Amino acid sequence: MDGFLYGLPVIGLVFEFIGYLIAVLPLIAPIIMRAAVPIAFAALCGVMCERSGVVNIGIEGTMLVAAFVGWAAGIYLVPVLGAEAGPIFGASASLVVALLLALLAGMIVSFVHAWLSISVRADQIISGTIINIAAFGVTGYLITLLSKTAPTGAGQFKTWTPPEALTGLPFVGWIFETLLHQGPLTISLLVIVVAFQIALFRTRWGLRSRAVGEHPRAAETVGIDVIRLRYRNVLVGGVLAALGGAFLSMELNSTFQQDMTAGRGFIGLAAMIVGRWTPLGAFGAALLFASTVGISQSILIAPPPGQLGEMLLSLPPQFFDALPYLVTIIILAGVVGRSIPPAADGQPYEREAAT
């Protein structure tokens, strides 16, 4: 009975908190969207690799390398191509070329992972870990070397402003504002999520990829080249991860910092599992994880009134920094047993000897 009475004010606070969240949602939605982009790209990379049977723990490192290359290439490209802002997204020629180089870098890194895990048949988790350690070491070394001269990169992409008619709509205007008042990489994420979902479940490539991830032996007997398809998917996955990395150093910021990805690649893996290895699900899970960032920021900037606000502000600020990681662990532990990965996920494939 006592417990019940104590419970009442807590329930009151919970309702108050939910009310607060609904009230601030339109305000924090853009923050959530921006925080979700790198996580979602990482999760899409995970879906791309694991659907065809390759576990990729090295997403974090792939993103870090792409973020670095996107920024560092700008330093060398600006003197050659100039930094004149173009008509779309304020993109200069150097910025576009730097982005392409970042994507290429992501592809090269994921090629290393593909080679180690598909051809060498090393343990895929160790291979991915080594890519993370290598990416951390190499970018750390190069950024120390480069920052001696305090160079500037090619700047960053500007956001697109959607027409007033769309964002001014009552009730739903803020949704368009959130999704479309964004830079090119964020908008391309929306396109990629939808296209990838359709491709994975409605095209021949998607069917083949899923077959290779579920039962490679059977796929091979109907004439699918398992090794080649896995290579191809891991390389495309590298491009997806690189988009997430490039977003950090070319759209969200205009510089690179050491360890800039800060665990987003791993949160992306969790989002992939929570989203049940589907592109749409992974994107939704990325939004869920990112919402902790938006909620923390709004509590710090505009706390809810009264007792609830006082309570939340009395927490140390580090609590809010740790919140995304905490929520990731909790949701992962709750969901993982019920989320079924592709059957051949992580198993190296060996062709049967020709007889």
Partner 1 sequence: MRGRLRRAWRILALPLISIVLSILVGSLVIIASEWLVTGELKPGLAIDAFTALVEGAVGSERAIINTLVSSVPLLLGGLAVGLAFKGGLFNIGVQGQFLMGVLGSVIVGVQLRESPAVIAIPLALAAGMLFGAVWGFIPGFLKATSGAHEVVTTIMLNLIALQVFAAAVNGPLTVQGSSSPITPDVGNAALPIIFGRNGHLGIIYAPLMAVLYGWLLFRTTRGFEIRIAGSSPDAARYAGMKPRRLIIWTMSVSGMLGGMAGATDLLGVSHQTASSYATTVGFDSIAVALLGRTSPIGIVLSALLFGALRTGSASMQIQAGVPAELTGVLQATILFFLVASPVVARLFRLKGARSGLEETTTFTSTYGGEATIR
Site residues for partner 1 per CB under 8 A: 50, 55, 57, 112, 116, 120-127, 129-130, 133-134, 136-138, 140-142, 144-146, 148-149, 262-263, 266-267, 269-270, 273, 316-319, 321-322, 325-326, 328-329, 332-334, 336-341, 345-347
Shortest Å, Cβ 290 to partner 1: 15
Shortest Å, Cβ 264 to partner 1: 10
Return the number of other C-beta atoms located less than 10 Å from residue 338's C-beta: 7
Q: Which is nearer to partner 1, 54 or 308 (CB)?
A: 54
Q: Which is nearer to partner 1, 200 or 274 (CB)?
A: 274
Distance (Å, whole) CA 327 – CA 331: 6
6 burial level (CB within 10 Å; 0-12, 13-18, 19+): exposed
**CA-CA distances (angstroms) from residue 264 to 218, 235, 268?**
35, 20, 6
Torsion angle (degrees, nearest 10) of CA 228, 231, 235, 237: 110
Torsion angle (degrees, nearest 10) of CA 180, 186, 190, 193: -170
Distance (Å, whole) CA 151 – CA 147: 7
- DSSP code of residue 303: P
Shortest Å, Cβ 292 to partner 1: 12
Shortest Å, Cβ 148 to partner 1: 7
Q: Which is nearer to partner 1, 16 or 214 (CB)?
A: 214
- DSSP code of residue 171: T
Q: Which is nearer to partner 1, 136 or 176 (CB)?
A: 136
Q: Which is nearer to partner 1, 157 or 231 (CB)?
A: 231
Shortest Å, Cβ 214 to partner 1: 13
